[in-house]
A and B are shown apart, each in its own frame.
Chain A
Amino acid sequence: MSTTSTSLDSPRMLPESVRQKIEAYIPRYPSKRAVTLPALHIVHSHFRCVPYQAMKEIAEILEIAPAEVADTMSFYGFFPQAPLGDVRVWVCRSISCMLRGGDELLEHACKKLNIEAGQTTSDGKLTVEFAECLGICDHAPAALADDGRAYGPLDEAGVEKMLEELKKGPVPPESL
């Protein structure tokens, strides 16, 4: 299930900077458990995944059971346990995008990269996933990178151009 050792005395994996970021959220909520999602996001953006050992350490910081973190983490579609590519891109397949070719464009993107939806390219640069509505239907058929760059309306050539651009790596939020 996990690539990380799960024994109780595993070496700590969360660096101090990550722990501090998580702890900074605690005063915002009346319960520490409410920091679960922010903590998962912080860990995810650091490691590009949330390994089991990290879940245990989040649980320790928030004074809850590791199973509670795992339960929350596994409910959401967002947190993988093995690292994603440098950029994760979602191709939308919901109604407005579907009507304009979204399903076919997802297939095209996967074929171009020689992967299936949900997989990462062998060079570790890109992960392609389908998405249910991304809320950027004014760009339908649309795609969204996990650094916030939105693409669309896309056609096959547009998908290829997007993939080339995304292979260069993520951009900071200020540049959006």
Chain B
Amino acid sequence: MAAFEPVLSRNWNNPDILSVKTYESKGGYAASRKALTTMSPDNVVDLVKASELRGRGGAGFPTGLKWSFLPKDRKETFMCINGDESEPATFNNRYLVEKDPHQFIEGILIGCYATKANTAYVYLRFEYIKAIHILEQAIAEARAAGHLGKNIYGSGFDLEIWCHRGAGAYICGEETGLIESLEGKRGWPRIKPPFPAIEGAFRKPTVVNNIETLACVPHIVERGADWFKSMGTPKSYGPKLYTISGQVNKQVCVELPLGVTTNQLLEDHAGGVWKGRKAKAAVPGGISMGILKKEEFDIPLDFEEIRKTGCLGLGTAAVTIMDDQTRIIDYLYNTTRFFAHESCGQCTPCREGTGWLYKTVKRIRSGGGRIEDLDLMSHLANNMGITPGTTICGLADGAAWPIKNALAKYRDELEDFIKHNQNPDYKITAGQDAISKGQSPLPTNTSMFVPGIGLAKSLSN
């Protein structure tokens, strides 16, 4: 195999790349010019289809196919770019915006041309304050340089890009939750169908794409579908930004062909496990994806292979390493706390299920566990989500997966923990489940108007 040449991150060491002139001088906006002046929108869709680019946001849906679902007779199309990036341990989109905003804008431009969208909304999570600042400046520069606005490159194509800031809600990373949020409402996901391609933002045909997905597009236009397919593993082609964090020596974001292994990331890029310890487990692509045992670290992290480990998928390719002193109960405490906090509260199995999983794990961790709790957790996890068909979106599947994987892979450890961590003072009171006896440093009198505590919290407590 030829040496891998990074493209998405090629400008990251050049701080001047934030200026449109520098970006142009490095060959930037050549691909968008090529697409808008020498290709038809359908040509671009066909090219992206041929590249077999799959969405980088988590689900891995083929991008060209998504674009081709738009009705042929549509009068207006919206592009929404999902930069809500809230999946724990994920920060590759932030790097793309902060370190090379024009590459991203060029990707939006080509994507919008292909889908005939004249307005694009970049939904960025509020916490990306620096990224929003950089992107807004870059958009203004790109407009002044003629890459945005009316009749771009004389092609007759118009495009405006607007930044839309989120307000701290994980659920807005779900594409229809994002659309609702963009429309000014609470970010409650919609039942599909209709899919956004038919009826999305403002009831119009809409494409929702991830930042990294669009950043791949200029390179596909420039170098072709075959180049893109020369990298990766079967059905998982192209370059991918992996992030590695947690108990490692170096927490990094690195561009590699799809399908590297956890071991490669850990040893070649993250400098190994911290404090001279050994690895115990890893979260393969954000906590929704489940957990990998050390013995599974040689499985390729791509859209297909990873599923054979029982994990939900590649997710955001955000790998978190856990060392051999980490307790699985603490991992579960963290994941269940996260999802109980972030459930949007719309579907009962998720709102209540995430809350009860958290309370149960918290009780076990505090010394009030019973072996049968593990079966209760399994029952809960198996009955919430799109997989069993009880919720509108996949948040509950993400909440269930760490539980399912942990029970399949670490049941012995969890049983052992329960047996050896019994606190005789810990009383389970009916209805309360002794939640006030937990170890959280948080105040217990949280209500929906306390910053950082969402509606779901007040409903589920």
Contacts and interface: CB of A to CB of B under 8 A. Distances in A.
A95 interface: yes
A148 B165 CA distance: 14
A81 interface: yes
B253 interface: yes
A20 B184 CA distance: 19
Contacts of A140: 245-246, 251
A21 B90 CA distance: 33
Contact of A95 (B166, B184, B287): B287
B452 interface: yes
Interface in A106-151: 106-107, 110, 116-118, 127, 129-140, 144, 146-148, 150
Contact of B129 (A40, A79, A96, A146): A146
A153 B450 CA distance: 27
Nearest to A146: B129
B165 A37 contact: yes
B169 A95 contact: no
A131 to B, nearest CB: 7
A33 interface: yes
A47 interface: no
A98 to B, nearest CB: 5
B181 interface: yes
Given A34-B184, A72-B186, A99-B322, A135 B129 contact: no
Contacts of B127: 90, 131, 134-135, 144
A55 to B, nearest CB: 12
Contact of B87 (A28, A80, A133): A133
A75 B455 contact: yes
A98 B330 CA distance: 9
A15 interface: no
Contacts of A130: 442, 452
B167 A77 contact: yes
A95 B283 contact: yes
A173 B448 contact: no
Contacts of A174: 133
Given A107-B441, A133-B88, A148-B129, A99 B251 contact: no
A139 B204 CA distance: 40
A6 interface: no
Interface stretch (B9-17, B25-33, B335-343): B335-343
Sort chain A's interface into a size bin. 35 or more
Interface residues of B, number: 68
Interface in B160-190: 160, 162, 164-170, 181-187
Contacts of B389: none
A170 B311 CA distance: 42
B443 A116 contact: yes
Contact of B168 (A78, A107, A117): A78
Given A74-B448, A77-B453, A96 B251 contact: yes
A93 B128 CA distance: 17
A157 interface: no
A127 to B, nearest CB: 7
A75 B165 CA distance: 15
A38 B441 contact: no
A168 to B, nearest CB: 18
A106 B443 CA distance: 13
Most buried by B among A37, A129, A173: A37
A155 interface: no
Given A37-B167, A118-B451, 13 more contacts: A28-B160, A30-B202, A31-B202, A71-B185, A95-B287, A96-B246, A103-B441, A118-B442, A118-B450, A135-B94, A138-B91, A140-B251, A148-B133
